[in-house]
């Protein structure tokens, strides 16, 4: 139960959702798009999130798309992580998503909700960063497809009243060899320490990371180092020297420990993906 009241709206179309947001925003209702809604419910309970109007977009048809044809994979933003796992159209995404929260929670958490989350892990974005995907955004200015690298810098940079509708990914990326691992402080449950997703395409390794810095990232400098042709260990050390900063240093793990774990994960990833070359 949330300690504040809000109005609940469930529009049928994107146009309706966008217009509703503008109307409610104009009337000072601090509207919020709501998909899985887990972040509003959990943060709202402890006064870290607030709204006077919830716009539930989870049944809008454009946001429910899941199709693979014409060489493109379309995934709607309100698909739940469980739906994505069970269908398994993008194995790297399946593997990465299957480590988020726990199984029952993933029945509620949606793809768009995770990518747009306030909590900084946002692991579901990693496969899309690796695959140079496009994201479809709708807002007061209409609908547009944007390369993810133009709009995702630490977080998805949506303007007020815009929402994520779909991701578009070329099928050659979803068939590429990949590596994905999540390390926690202890055992199989709890908050992540580091999540790494890697993919090999055109004989080059790509790497995207969550939990090392206070934002998920894919770094051109890191990938240049990892594909430089030296020994795996030398490439990993070179990659560590060009990491974005700051390195997280908190109760889940010190900065030094995170770098230690990351070094080992990167090494494992390269050994696994190098094997794919043989």
Residues 149-188 that bind another protein (CB under 8 A): 188
Of the residues 7, 12, 150, 256, which one makes contact with another protein according to CB under 8 A: 7
Query: Minimum CB separation from another protein for residue 261, in Å?
Result: 21
Residues 40-59 that bind another protein (CB under 8 A): 41-42, 44-45, 54, 56
| Residue 28 token pair | 């000072």
The overall longest dimension of the chain from CA atoms, in Å, is: 62
Which residue stretch of 23-31, 100-108, 226-234, 264-272 sits at the interface with another protein (rule: CB under 8 A)?
100-108
* Cβ proximity to another protein, 103 vs 175, nearer residue: 103
What is the per-residue DSSP string for 23-67?
Answer: HHHHTT---EEESS-HHHHHHHHTTS---SEEEE-TT-GGGG-EE
Of the residues 69, 104, 159, 231, which one makes contact with another protein according to CB under 8 A: 104
C-beta separation of 270 from 226 below 8 A: yes
Of the residues 105, 232, 248, 255, which one makes contact with another protein according to CB under 8 A: 105
Q: How many angstroms separate the Cα of 20 from the Cα of each of 5, 41, 90, 263? A: 18, 21, 33, 48
Binding flag, residue 242, another protein (CB under 8 A)? no
List residues binding another protein (CB under 8 A).
Answer: 1-2, 4-8, 36-38, 41-42, 44-45, 54, 56, 82, 98, 101-105, 107-108, 188-189
């Amino acid at each position: 139960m949330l300690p504040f009241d809000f109005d609940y709206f469930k529009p049928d179309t994107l146009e309706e959702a966008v217009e509703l947001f503008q109307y409610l925003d104009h009337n000072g209702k601090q509207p919020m798009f709501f998909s899985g809604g887990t972040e509003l419910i959990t943060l709202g309970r402890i006064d870290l999130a607030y709204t006077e109007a919830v716009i539930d977009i989870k049944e809008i048809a454009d946001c429910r798309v899941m199709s693979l044809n014409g060489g493109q994979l379309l995934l709607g933003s309100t698909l739940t992580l469980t739906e994505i796992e069970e269908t398994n159209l993008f194995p790297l995404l399946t593997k990465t998503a299957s480590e988020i929260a726990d199984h029952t929670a993933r029945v509620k958490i949606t793809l768009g909700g995770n990518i747009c989350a306030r909590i900084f892990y946002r692991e579901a974005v990693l496969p899309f960063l690796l695959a140079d995907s496009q994201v479809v955004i709708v807002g007061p200015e209409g609908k547009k497809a944007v390369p993810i690298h133009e709009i995702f810098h630490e977080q998805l940079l949506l303007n007020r009243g815009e929402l994520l509708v779909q991701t578009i990914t070329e099928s050659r990326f979803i068939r590429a060899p990949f590596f994905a691992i999540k390390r926690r402080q202890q055992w199989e449950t709890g908050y992540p320490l580091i999540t790494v997703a890697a993919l090999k395409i055109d004989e080059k390794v790509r790497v995207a990371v969550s939990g090392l810095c206070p934002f998920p990232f894919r770094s051109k400098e890191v990938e240049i180092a990892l594909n430089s042709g030296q020994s795996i260990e030398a490439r990993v050390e070179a990659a560590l020297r060009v990491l974005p900063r700051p390195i997280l240093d908190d109760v889940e793990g010190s900065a030094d420990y995170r770098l230690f774990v990351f070094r080992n994960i990167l090494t494992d990833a390269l050994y696994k993906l190098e094997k794919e070359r043989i």
